[in-house]
Structure 1
Amino acid sequence: MTKQMHEFQIIHGAAELVRIEELTPAARFSLRARAANVPALSKALGLELPGRVGERAEARGRVALCLGPDEWLLTAPEAARDGIVTDLAPAYAEAPHSLAEISDREISYAITGPAALELLSIACPRDLDRLVTGRAVRTVFDTAQVVLWRDGPEAFRLDVWRSFAPHVLALLETGRAEIAAGL
């Protein structure tokens, strides 16, 4: 299977205004558990599962993002996939939970540069100025459900289901062209 990389830039004079690039694949899991089981699962994972929607925690190369009161997105480098499963398996007896691997479901894009916020605003109804660095949210981009991470003032990550990726990329390309044309 060949991997198609998408990358484009908006150039204005000598300054790059926005860059979009497909990120390398990652291990991803959907974790569902009751609040009473969070301490045991946090201990097994080696990171404190965040308790508020939008918060994330990082440790040992793993990231946990709280998507709901009983739902977390776990991400890690691909090589760490088996380790997450292995670490959580013994905790099941004490802390029942649902762990579903969703690694192949999504593609992630890094969107960076001074026009990144403007580009994402073309199809995202959220007030992205209010998305604080270090947080992430489940939202929509046009009609596609996505997870949008804010990694810095001009740095975002967009996780989109593989089946919606062509649509999302087409919208980003349209937005790129509009920004480049000064519209």
Structure 2
Amino acid sequence: MSEQTVTGTNVYDVRPITEVLAESPLAWSYHHTGRPSVSESSRVVIRERAMSGQLILRGGAIVLDEAVRQVLGVGLPARPNTLSQDASGERSAQWLSPDEWLLIVPGGEEFSLEGQLRKALGNAHYAIVNVSGGQTLLELEGERATELLMKSTLYNVHPAAFPVGKGVTTVFAKSNLILRRPTENRWELVLRRSFADYLYRWLLDAGEEYAIGVDD
């Protein structure tokens, strides 16, 4: 049996400049379900970080950590179910499994980031998959955000069990997503595009008693 060696990788920019405007995964939901305004009585606020850049990175922890630090300025979290962020909080790396991490950056940076990482990693054994088009990110803030989460997931989100810097993959409203707590007052939900409308409507219903509002 002959051996074959892969000498190169084709990398494609999945968001080229075109005249067709990209739409948020929740564009249909905003039009058909509505977007409750944030008011003084709102104790939970939803904010979508649409079109964020998201990459799945797999490989050996040591070599990947060196490349990510060099390119992104953030080290890969070594402990399970944790995340690390840059000083701005806009770029993060999250542990998903012993050899798998999720990188999230502002939209438009993901293609360049992928190219820089591939260059830094050279001939190392790794995999990088751009999942930006298949996922979106929702932020939850407010004094009742934790209570809303308690109504939606079986995972223990009490501050004692879910401190700042933790992130887990869990069941949420009969679907699944990545739940993160990057700051004391903000939660993040990283979810599949196909579940976006369902989970948006779930959150509006579960948060109605808290006068939930959607921030532009």
TM-score, normalized by the shorter chain, greater than 0.5 = yes
1:138 and 1:33 mapped to 2: Cα distance? 19
Identity, % of aligned pairs? Answer: 25
For each residue in 1:22-43, what CA deviation from the matched residue of structure 2 results, as whole angstroms up to 9, or x when unmatched?
Answer: 2232110000112343343334
Can you give the 5+ residue segments of structure 2 that lack an aligned partner in the other structure? 1-21, 212-216
Q: Residue in 2 aligned with 1:89?
A: 118
1:39 and 1:165 mapped to 2: Cα distance? 31
Is the Cα–Cα contact under 8 Å of residues 117 and 154 in structure 1 kept in the other structure? no
2:23 and 2:111 mapped to 1: Cα distance? 24
What residue identity is the alignment partner of 2:172?
F
Helix, strand or coil: the match of 1:140? strand
More strand by share: 1
**Larger displacement relative to structure 2 (167-176 or 109-118):** 167-176
Q: Residue in 2 aligned with 1:23?
A: 49
**Larger displacement relative to structure 2 (119-128 or 60-69):** 60-69
TM-score, structure 2 as length reference: 0.73
Can you give the 5+ residue segments of structure 1 that lack an aligned partner in the other structure? none
Q: Relative contact order (C-alpha < 8 Å, sep 6+): which is higher?
A: 2
Helix, strand or coil: the match of 2:165? coil
More helix by share: 1
Picking from 30, 34, 41, the partner of 2:67 is 41
- What are the within-5 Å matches in structure 2 for residues 127-146 of structure 1? 127-129=156-158, 130-146=161-177
- What are the within-5 Å matches in structure 2 for residues 89-168 of structure 1? 89-129=118-158, 130-168=161-199
Between Structure 1 and Structure 2, whose CA radius of gyration is higher?
A: 2
2:182 and 2:60 mapped to 1: Cα distance? 28
Runs of 4+ aligned structure 1 residues displaced above 4 Å come to none
How much does 1:154 deviate? Answer: 3.0
State whether structure 2 residue 204 is matched by structure 1 residue 173: yes
2:36 and 2:197 mapped to 1: Cα distance? 14
RMSD: 2.3
How much does 1:72 deviate? Answer: 0.4
What residue identity is the alignment partner of 1:68?
S
